[in-house]
Amino acid sequence: MKKIISLLGIMFFATSCLNLEGNLRVHEAFNVKKKGGFLNRKLKDVTLTPSTYRATLKMKSDKKLNLEIKDFEGKDITLPIKSDEGMNLPSNGKFAIGHEKIGQPFDVVGVMKTDVNVSDTTYNVESCSWTETETRCERRCTKDPLECHDVCEDITITHEGHQDVAYHYVTTTRNIGLDLMRENSTSHVASFNGSDVDSRKVYEYEGSCR
């Protein structure tokens, strides 16, 4: 039987470097600050116009997020959302971030949900390899003057084989919903919904390779 685990109370920075793909729906025009200038080190004001844009929320850490908007007026733009003191985003639950904390002219409220699915254990036989180091010598001679001596060197030999294994898969699904609001207002001007699915193979047993 598969297991479903809900992660409660775990801070989101523990799962940094995530890319949540989705859509940004802009309900009414509003101003934001996007990356620009040399090496994108400066911020430039831009007005987002009502439409639905493909977007990716890149979570670098609990202190730095980037909302990348695709094909806005023919080009991609990046809205940095960062805070030196951290945003304390949860793995599960609601959160709110004020504009003064993230350097943008909008407030953010949102909800994050994280589910972890652990599969049943699979028993199998897989291919494997191991290496050994051997010392090999050969006799080498020179013509003038005629001299012979043994030259030895260590070489690495790779052997192919098979091993018994037991493993399971851990699949983590994350869904996030964000509402962008005008600063110090309850007016919702845009919303973002994105998701990310990550699966990894976890070995429970690895037998001898032979």
Q: State how far the Cα of 37 lies from the Cα of 183, in Å rounded to an integer.
A: 25
Contact 77/34 with Cβ under 8 angstroms? yes
- Are the CB atoms for 162 and 127 separated by under 8 Å? yes
pLDDT digits (tens, 9 = 90+) for 30-72: 999 999 877 777 889 999 999 999 999 999 888 899 999 998 8
Query: For residues 199 and 86, what is the distance between their CA atoms, to the nearest angstrom?
Result: 27
pLDDT the model gives residue 168: 98
The DSSP bridge partners found for residue 149 are 140
Is residue 64 within 8 Å of 84, Cβ to Cβ?
A: no
Express each pLDDT in 169-186 by its tens digit: 999 999 999 999 998 888
* Region 92-100 average pLDDT: 93
